[in-house]
Structure 1
Amino acid sequence: MRPHLFFIAAAALVCACSEDSSSGEEPVQEGTCALEDETSRPGFLFRLGCQKDFNALASEPLDTSIPGARSVKVVLDQFDNDTLYFQNSTEYAIHYEFVSANLSGAGKPLVGSLADFNQTEYYAPGRRFLLGSVTYYEGPDVWALEIAPYDTASAAMVTQLYDAIRKAGFFGPALFFHPTSQAVEAEAKKLAASVPVKTTAELFAAIDYQPLNLAASVGRLRFITADELDQTYLSYRDMVVLDRVPNDISVVLGIITEEFQTPLSHVNVLSQNRKTPNMGLRNATANASLRALDGKWVRLTVGAFNWSIEEVTSTEADAYWEAHKPKPVQLPTADRTVKDLRDLEQVVTEGSSSLRDAIKSAIPAFGGKAAHYSVLANTPGLPVRKAFAVPAGYYVQFMEENGFYERLDQLLADPEFQQKPAVRDARLKEFRKAMEAAPVNAEFQALLKAKLATDYPGLTMRFRTSTNSEDLEGFPCAGCYESHTGDPSDWEDVLDAIRETWASIWLFRTFEERAYSSIDHKSVVMALLVHHNFPDEEANGVALTANPFDPSGLQPGLYVNVQAGGDAEVVHPPPGITSDQFIYEFHQPGLPITYLSHSNLVNDGETVLTPSQVFELGKALDAIHERFSPAYGPRAGNTGWYAMDVEFKFDGEPGQIPTLTVKQARPHPGRGQ
């Protein structure tokens, strides 16, 4: 069992609080310690008399999104006169390890296998043990009893465990019960007033610090508002303090936002790609420690439980940059020879080579997005839209026939372009405008017209970017490029969509992102992933196929961020708009869901997805995780973090029940160290 609180921008969760919560508001008074000091760490204690006793047995939570939290697991043995054990949670990481080592045999019933234990002790009404943990949340100064999100313990069982812990712990008068999932929350509503409840939303509201990407870096600290970003040019070596989460930001070495973020927010994904620190801090723009360092060189460290910032000299800053500036990224060499408009099932050829090598072989001609989509299209039972790919050779043809490579050479050789961000931005806009007005090869147009008329008659089409510089290990570049929709009934509309999509290679922020990684800009080519668009989807979302807050892997889950259909985006919504965010423990009996926030675009008490849709999504995410494991996961020898970053939609024709469609999947870089 572990703490199950995740710090993300959250709408208030359903409160299961009793009206009388006085017992949880009483002050903590330490008594006589059972241990002489914290260095003495027995396997368990029957009582915790003081903070030192708690500290001696406590472990850092597996959920590293909770800064300052510590937990001690508890076991109540109903066979042995309701004896309560506070187990050494560092020595015994899970309940089973403790009970099998200490409470099995020698006059007590034998404890069977781990599978039998889990099935009985978390689900059976006649279980022998009541299991939970006592967690201290430092930020809100709350002591909380928690049970596993999938534990089916009744209100009576929770009360029995709560009462025993309250009597045996020095924190007893201040103890709350914290529900860790929808199912536990529903059962908590049956608790008597003597068991006060503290919800996730209430705990979250008292937290000031949100670690997002764990890293350290050195840069010049700058205060800026999100609204000013469009008119401000930032340096690679800047660190920024922002009032709210921006939709986009150019390359910087660190980010602090006053508004808390979602783990899949655009700026956090960028920070993960760059391996730079990112954090949320309430009232950051008024923080005295930060304000005192405005304009100075600083070292910012974002840790799992705390953060620090200190001034450094310009000499130290320069030395840091030279030692830590990104290593040049070498893109896959473009294959300009492929000219057929290829159905996605045929883009990645699996066979004698590994899946990883097969994907890499497809990228030079079709880009990262189309290559990964091809694997999805060849995964049995996975719902994806029929699609085809326009190879990158047609982008190269367009650039060559219109003299854009020569024009690009002139830009890159211009010192003013290289040295002045404002000039660079203006010239790139002119370059894109010229691309958007240039003619497209007539033979290519004829080939594309025939393909759309034969295979996609009467459908509007989405032309999606698929370059050799995105969705890659080492350079995901999520959100770097822009896709567009065209209607074949108006052919010029299709050409506009294609040219605007190709031109997005030369967006200012995308150019800066590549320059930061010393990428040869002329080596970038763009294929197109083409399918019928989603004009009126009922829901859209992003998900990770693993739990980003559980690096240990002991509490696996799927992380989902989903919003009701409409104009509000998921990863960078308008200010004040929240989405449904939850952890779905797909492999646990009962399929528990822990909602971290709720969408404020649906009615109170409702969720964006129905339970059947959540289950449909869970099956797909599980299949994707397993499918790409031979390329990026354990089956490829990866013993560290592994998750696929997945985009999805729920869409249906009028009168039909919306069903799932998977849009794309790419390897996720993880949360830092």
Structure 2
Amino acid sequence: MQARPHLRRVLLSLSLAPVLLACRDPGPEAQVCAITDQDPDSSQTLGCREDFDRLAAKPLNSAKVNAYSAKTLVDTFDDQLYVQNSDRYPIHWDFAFEHLSGQGKPIVPQLGDFNQSEYYSPGRRFYLGAITYYEGPDKWTYEISPYDTASAKMIAAAYAKIRDNSFFGERLYFHPTSEAVEHEAEELPEWVKVITTEALYADQEVQILNTGETYAKLVFVSSAELDSAYLGFRDLVVLDKVPNDISVVSGIITEAFQTPLSHINVLSQSRGTPNIALAGAWTDEELRALEGEWVRFVVTADDWTIEEVSAAQAEAWWQEHRPAPLGVPAKDLSVQALTDIEELLDPMLDDEAAIDAAVPAFGGKASNYAVLAKIGANLNPPKAFAVPIYFYDQFLVEHGFDVRIAQLLADDSFRDDAQTRDTMLASLRDDMVAAPLNAEFEAAVLAKLDADYPGLRMRFRSSTNAEDLEGFTGAGLYTSKSGYAMSAEDPFQAAIKQVWASVWSFRAFEEREYRGIEHTAVGMALLVHRSFPDEEANGVALTANIFDQSGAEPGFYINVQEGGASVVKPSPGVSTDQLIYHFDFPGQPVVYIAHSNLVAPGEKVLTNAELYELGTALDAIHSYFAGIYPPNEDGWYAMDVEFKFDDVDEFDEPVLWVKQARPHPGLGD
């Protein structure tokens, strides 16, 4: 069959000028280019689109999909506008220090003093900002940094200078980039045209979530069909909605836009598989024309392409690119006692070595959790104990499940047919939940709960030796369940067995198969602490700015929701508060990316006091674990933190509880 022409959607290009010039015509204004140098340092005017293209670069803030940006300075010393070459000078100081310091001009100070004075001082010399062109809505904007305290008078002066010296002229808008800037923009004169973030992104067509390349079969599966669909790791899936979960696949295209910390994007990042959201994907005629065919799907930070390939080409690619088998720490079955979290780490070892030593017996989640109590800073991790892997292994052996698992793995029908595999795994899980616990183990857990957690509903959380590995978190693969010490309807015994059985879920099996993890090498420990059935708020956070990999605008990415509603697996139509908290900047500005629709309009999930308390905790976690988990090969380092705010009898306000901190794998290639 003749290959169809490949489908290409260009978001922006950093290097190919002809692609940039193919964007919409900027308007009917007469354009006379002002720049004659092919590679200028700056220009004081923009006479045509080519002038802008020579100076602009991809914004440091990668949330600005379909955008291209050039940094600007208005120097109040001589009332001149400078549009700087933003590839050569990615931050304002770079250009100002080299070109606007001395030789009759005031000396530009070092970077720290420059940032302090030029972003926060009312007596600043420079008005700093950027011109950004948004291709989707075809809008030219002037923007300042979200933490910039520029007055309305300063903003208006810079806006007028850019408008009057640029070919787009009256088409220029001012775009507030944070709530603080929005508030100041209310004081702008009427002749400054203002456009909101909502208006800019309302027509955005593509959202890049994770970059990568794959050869896969293109399939369309509705979110309602996911539970009954059998997806393989060589499938590229087009989805109508953002699902709560998905088995391992080669790539994802959702019609609905995702949050960067949506569960399926975390999985994509961990797997290194491409993931985008595309408006109209479900009914896209060009995608539908490729349904059921083998395709090459490539996603970069700037664009994505898809084209038909042969099955032989796909097979050849997979032979070369399938992930190398991932080894896991060997199970340590010598630890055979319930262990309080304070006793889990060896005090004679440093933290990194102690975690490594603990994982074979207690798994990654419990081992990292044990560090939290050492950090301080009011992290308030719930009192906890761990059930070592030994008891999971004992359970398998006593009931012959270890032999049954070996038989399954040797069965060709189990290996070769996804539906058969799913059916046989479901039967195994059912039998594991029906089998009794070892009597002595059950008595030990009951005694522990009665003595240390009387009357509390407890959360039994999965903690395996096959998670938090380099480049692989194992996030969301296994189940956590809750139960009481004495309850006919909600017994702890069932909770333990359901967590153990989740090792053999279809999705967990498929994920391990894809990563080459030996299934029988996986052991399940349990992290056990009180549950939070009625929390005020819950969320996840990254201790780095997920939209700024340059490090120029550090912050914490926070995704938080009212009550116990899920943030990583939200119900259809439910949105969360998503924000960047610039904790290290003066004034600690907050940039809201989205708002929860479970709270009243205009309200936020967290109060200012709660946000500061969370920021303090995230800062402490980031600093402490930096000595344990170095940056990955791309220079990325962040901790993935799970937290809750919950009422406690002795306090008037909800209290922060940090439930988990694990290394984040990075943002993809």
Q: TM-score, normalised by structure 1?
A: 0.93
Q: Which amino acid aligns with 1:244?
A: K
Which residue of 647, 652, 655 corresponds with 1:652? 647
Contact 2:216 2:295 in 1 (8 A): yes
- Which residue number corresponds to residue 562 of structure 2? 564
- Which residue number corresponds to residue 507 of structure 2? 509
- Which residue number corresponds to residue 104 of structure 2? 107
Instruction: Give the whole-Å Cα distance in 1 for the aligned partners of 2:467 and 2:209.
Output: 22
Between 1:333-342 and 1:599-608, the stretch displaced more is 333-342
Report the aligned-residue RMSD.
1.7
Superposed CA deviations along residues 501-531 of structure 1, whole A, max 9, x for unmatched, are 1111111111111111222211111110000
Residue 83 in structure 1 maps to residue 80 in structure 2 = yes
Residue 377 in structure 1 maps to residue 373 in structure 2 = yes
Between 1:204-213 and 1:483-492, the stretch displaced more is 483-492
Matches within 5 A, 1:168-567: 168-353=165-350, 355-381=351-377, 382-490=379-487, 493-566=491-564
CA apart distance, 1:107:
1.6
Contact 2:26 2:168 in 1 (8 A): no
Q: Name the SS of the counterpart of 1:231 in structure 2.
A: coil
Q: Name the SS of the counterpart of 1:106 in structure 2.
A: coil
Q: Which amino acid aligns with 2:360?
A: P
CA apart distance, 1:275:
0.7
Q: Which amino acid aligns with 2:365?
A: K
CA apart distance, 1:362:
0.7
Q: Which amino acid aligns with 2:647?
A: G
Between the two proteins, the alignment pairs up a number of residues equal to: 643
Q: Name the SS of the counterpart of 1:631 in structure 2.
A: coil
Superposed CA deviations along residues 200-221 of structure 1, whole A, max 9, x for unmatched, are 1111112100000111111011
- Which residue number corresponds to residue 64 of structure 2? 66
Q: Which amino acid aligns with 1:537?
A: E
- Which residue number corresponds to residue 637 of structure 2? 642
Instruction: Give the whole-Å Cα distance in 1 for the aligned partners of 2:472 and 2:126.
Output: 48
- Which residue number corresponds to residue 98 of structure 1? 95
- Which residue number corresponds to residue 3 of structure 1? none
Instruction: Give the whole-Å Cα distance in 2 for the aligned partners of 1:340 and 1:469.
Output: 21
- Which residue number corresponds to residue 19 of structure 2? none
Instruction: Give the whole-Å Cα distance in 2 for the aligned partners of 1:661 and 1:420.
Output: 44
CA apart distance, 1:639:
6.2
CA apart distance, 1:60:
1.7
- Which residue number corresponds to residue 607 of structure 2? 610
Superposed CA deviations along residues 456-507 of structure 1, whole A, max 9, x for unmatched, are 1221111110011123223211100011111113277011111111111111
CA apart distance, 1:26:
9.8
Instruction: Give the whole-Å Cα distance in 2 for the aligned partners of 1:305 and 1:510.
Output: 32
Contact 1:632 1:638 in 2 (8 A): no
**Structure 1 residues 429 and 244: alpha-carbon distance in aligned structure 2, compared to 1, 3 A threshold:** same
Instruction: Give the whole-Å Cα distance in 1 for the aligned partners of 2:39 and 2:401.
Output: 70
Contact 1:121 1:127 in 2 (8 A): yes
Which residue of 645, 668, 672 corresponds with 2:668? 672
Instruction: Give the whole-Å Cα distance in 2 for the aligned partners of 1:130 and 1:235.
Output: 54
Q: Which amino acid aligns with 1:497?
A: A
Q: Name the SS of the counterpart of 1:630 in structure 2.
A: coil
Which consecutive residues of structure 1, in runs of 5 or more, have no partner in the other structure? 1-6, 8-24
CA apart distance, 1:653:
3.1
CA apart distance, 1:154:
0.8
Superposed CA deviations along residues 414-454 of structure 1, whole A, max 9, x for unmatched, are 22222221111111111111111111112212222222222
Contact 1:237 1:253 in 2 (8 A): yes
Which residue of 591, 595, 598 corresponds with 1:598? 595
**Structure 1 residues 507 and 352: alpha-carbon distance in aligned structure 2, compared to 1, 3 A threshold:** closer
**Structure 1 residues 663 and 389: alpha-carbon distance in aligned structure 2, compared to 1, 3 A threshold:** same
**Structure 1 residues 30 and 653: alpha-carbon distance in aligned structure 2, compared to 1, 3 A threshold:** farther
**Structure 1 residues 356 and 29: alpha-carbon distance in aligned structure 2, compared to 1, 3 A threshold:** farther
Superposed CA deviations along residues 524-556 of structure 1, whole A, max 9, x for unmatched, are 111100001111000000111111121111111
Contact 2:472 2:665 in 1 (8 A): no
Contact 1:26 1:173 in 2 (8 A): no
Contact 1:548 1:670 in 2 (8 A): no
Contact 2:26 2:49 in 1 (8 A): no
Instruction: Give the whole-Å Cα distance in 2 for the aligned partners of 1:315 and 1:638.
Output: 32
**Structure 1 residues 26 and 313: alpha-carbon distance in aligned structure 2, compared to 1, 3 A threshold:** closer
Q: Percent identity?
A: 54
Matches within 5 A, 1:11-26: none
**Structure 1 residues 112 and 500: alpha-carbon distance in aligned structure 2, compared to 1, 3 A threshold:** same
**Structure 1 residues 28 and 161: alpha-carbon distance in aligned structure 2, compared to 1, 3 A threshold:** farther
- Which residue number corresponds to residue 15 of structure 1? none
- Which residue number corresponds to residue 51 of structure 2? 53
Q: Which amino acid aligns with 1:318?
A: E
Contact 1:28 1:174 in 2 (8 A): no
Superposed CA deviations along residues 234-282 of structure 1, whole A, max 9, x for unmatched, are 1221111111111111121111000010111111111111111100000
Contact 1:585 1:591 in 2 (8 A): yes
Q: TM-score, normalised by structure 2?
A: 0.93
Contact 1:254 1:276 in 2 (8 A): yes
Q: Which amino acid aligns with 1:268?
A: N
Instruction: Give the whole-Å Cα distance in 1 for the aligned partners of 2:67 and 2:26.
Output: 20
- Which residue number corresponds to residue 114 of structure 2? 117
Instruction: Give the whole-Å Cα distance in 1 for the aligned partners of 2:588 and 2:338.
Output: 42
- Which residue number corresponds to residue 4 of structure 1? none
Instruction: Give the whole-Å Cα distance in 2 for the aligned partners of 1:377 and 1:28.
Output: 64
Q: Which amino acid aligns with 1:548?
A: I
Q: Name the SS of the counterpart of 2:253 in structure 1.
A: strand
Instruction: Give the whole-Å Cα distance in 2 for the aligned partners of 1:336 and 1:42.
Output: 66
Contact 1:28 1:173 in 2 (8 A): no
Instruction: Give the whole-Å Cα distance in 1 for the aligned partners of 2:526 and 2:542.
Output: 24
Instruction: Give the whole-Å Cα distance in 1 for the aligned partners of 2:267 and 2:170.
Output: 45
Instruction: Give the whole-Å Cα distance in 2 for the aligned partners of 1:313 and 1:229.
Output: 26
- Which residue number corresponds to residue 17 of structure 1? none
Contact 2:35 2:43 in 1 (8 A): no
- Which residue number corresponds to residue 149 of structure 1? 146
Q: Which amino acid aligns with 1:663?
A: K
CA apart distance, 1:66:
2.7
